[in-house]
Structure 1
Amino acid sequence: MAKKALIAWGGWEGHTPERSANIISALLQRNGFDVTLGEGTALFADPGLSSFDLIVPVITMSTIEKAELQNLTRAVREGSGLGGFHGTMGDSFRNEPDYQFMTGGQWVAHPGNIIDYDVVITQPDDPIVGGISDFAYRSEQYYMHVDPSNEVLATTTFTDAHFPGIGGVVMPVVWKRRYGAGKVFYSSLGHTADEFAVPEMALIVERGLLWAARGQGTSEVSKKASG
C-alpha cells in the first residue's frame, strides 16, 4: 500500500512556495507516495491528518490557527513524519513556539543575503548525507536558533564579513530529530525552487523526506534515493 504524503504551501511568494511544493510532489510520487497537495494551513485541520505518513509544510512567514497547530503537532507526536527546508519549514510561524519546538529550530537572520558559503557533512555514515562530500553553495546562509537535541548532519561556518562578531560560529544546516513517535527532518538549503538544480541539495531533501516518513527504514532511504 502506497504511503500517503500531505504538502501544504503558502506564505511569502519570494520562497516560490507553489513551485517548490510541486517539485516535492513529483519527488515523492516517483518514490511511490500518494500525494495530497494544497494551499494554506487549513489542510492541517483535517481530522484524518494523522493518517498521513509524511507532512511537508512549504509555508513562510504565515500564521496558523490554534486548532490547526494542535492537530499538526498531535499528528507528528503520534507518528506522522514531518520534513521540509529553508524558510518554508524553518520560518513558517514565527509566533508559534510549539511549532518551533517540534521542528527543532527557527530562522533569525541571513547576513549578507545571497552569498557563497560551504556546507560541511558532519555525519558521513548517515544515509541522508552518505556519499555526499562537502560542497560549495550560493544562497542565503541561515543563522538559526536551534534545539540542542537535534542530530546534526551538516553545518556551515560564518565569518565576520557580513556581520561582525559571528565569525567562527558553526551553524547546523541539516538535522533530524524525534518528536514523540514522529521523525522530523530539516535542511536550511532551498531559498527558491531553482536551488533544486543543485544535486547535493536535492538529494539531501529527497533522502531526508523519505527517512522522515512513517515506517521508512534507513535501507529504503539509501536504496530509493541513492546518489
Structure 2
Amino acid sequence: MREALIVWGGWSGHEPEQCASTIAGMLEEEGFKVYVENSTEAFADPGLSDMSLVVPIYTMSKIEKEELSNLTAAIRGGVGLAGYHGGMCDAFRESVEYQFMCGGQWVAHPGNIIDYRVNVTRPDDPVMEGIRDFDYHSEQYYMHVDPSNEILATTTFSGEHAYWTKDVVMPVVWKRRYGEGRVFYSSLGHVAKEFDVPEMRTILRRGMLWAAR
C-alpha cells in the first residue's frame, strides 16, 4: 500500500486543517494509507524517504534547516511532492531551496478574490484530460516561476487591478522533476469550499496521483 504524508499549518486563512482532511479523504479513496501531521517537525522524520507522496499545506511560517534538508533529500530520492495554492508555493518564504524544489513562489494576487479564467494548455496530458478552459472565482496568483516547469494550464491577467500586468500569461498548473522525485502544483484552492469546484478537485487529485511513486 502506498503511503502519503500531509503536513498542515501556518496561516489559518487558508483553512489548512479542513483542507488536509479533504485531501486525506481523496487519497484514501485512491488506496493510500495517509498520515496527517500539523508540525514541520514531521519533515525531519527519517521515515519520510519511505513515503510515496508528501503534501504540504503550510502557508508562510518557517522550516528548520534539518527539516528542509530531510524533505528535499526525500524528494530528490524519489518521493513525490504535490500541493496547491499557498499551502505549497507560499510556504517557507526564506527557504530558497524549498522554492527551487517546488518550481515557483507566490508574490501577489492583484484584486484579491476576483473572477478569472483558467486556460488548459495541455489537454493531451492525463492530468488535464477532459477538462476544458473554465472560469474561476478566487485569488488569481501572480507567481515567480521556474522556466523548466511543464505547464499544464495558465491564466491571463487583465491589468484591471495592477495595470502593468495586463496580458501577462501566468502558469496555474505545472509538473516538474526534482532529482528522482515528481513535483506537481496547482495555484487553485484558496479555501476549503473551492474543493467543491469539479475542475479544481479533479486536477489536484490527478496531480497527486501523478506525483506519487
Q: Which whole-Å CA distance do the structure 2 matches of 1:117 and 1:110 have between them? A: 12
Cα drift, residue 38 of structure 1: 1.0
* 3-state SS in 1 of match to 2:22: helix
Aligned twin of 1:197: 196
| Match status 1:213 vs 2:207 | no
Cα drift, residue 159 of structure 1: 1.2
Task: Identify unmatched segments of 5+ residues in structure 2.
Answer: none
Aligned twin of 2:101: 102
Cα drift, residue 173 of structure 1: 0.1
Cα drift, residue 48 of structure 1: 1.1
Cα drift, residue 148 of structure 1: 0.1
Paired amino acid for 2:168: V
Cα drift, residue 127 of structure 1: 0.3
Aligned twin of 2:38: 39
Aligned twin of 2:78: 79
Aligned twin of 2:6: 7
Q: Which whole-Å CA distance do the structure 2 matches of 1:158 and 1:33 have between them? A: 37
Aligned twin of 1:137: 136
Aligned twin of 2:158: 159
Runs of 4+ in 1 over 2 A off after TM superposition: none
Q: Which whole-Å CA distance do the structure 1 matches of 2:31 and 2:162 have between them? A: 44
Aligned length: 213
The two structures, once aligned, show a CA RMSD in angstroms of 0.4
* 3-state SS in 2 of match to 1:48: helix
Paired amino acid for 1:53: S
Q: Which whole-Å CA distance do the structure 1 matches of 2:39 and 2:87 have between them? A: 12
1:155-194 alignment, distance < 5 Å: 155-194=154-193
Aligned twin of 1:121: 120
What TM-score do the two structures reach when normalised by structure 2? 1.00
Q: Which whole-Å CA distance do the structure 2 matches of 1:25 and 1:160 have between them? A: 37
Q: Which whole-Å CA distance do the structure 1 matches of 2:173 and 2:130 have between them? A: 15
Task: Identify unmatched segments of 5+ residues in structure 1.
Answer: 215-227
Q: Which whole-Å CA distance do the structure 1 matches of 2:34 and 2:146 have between them? A: 30
Q: Which whole-Å CA distance do the structure 2 matches of 1:40 and 1:164 have between them? A: 39
Q: Which whole-Å CA distance do the structure 1 matches of 2:61 and 2:196 have between them? A: 26
* 3-state SS in 1 of match to 2:46: coil
| Match status 1:69 vs 2:63 | no
Cα drift, residue 40 of structure 1: 1.2
Paired amino acid for 1:136: D
What TM-score do the two structures reach when normalised by structure 1? 0.93
Paired amino acid for 2:12: E
Deviations 1:133-178 (A, max 9, x none): 1000000000000000000000000011001111000000000000
* 3-state SS in 2 of match to 1:123: coil
* 3-state SS in 2 of match to 1:168: coil
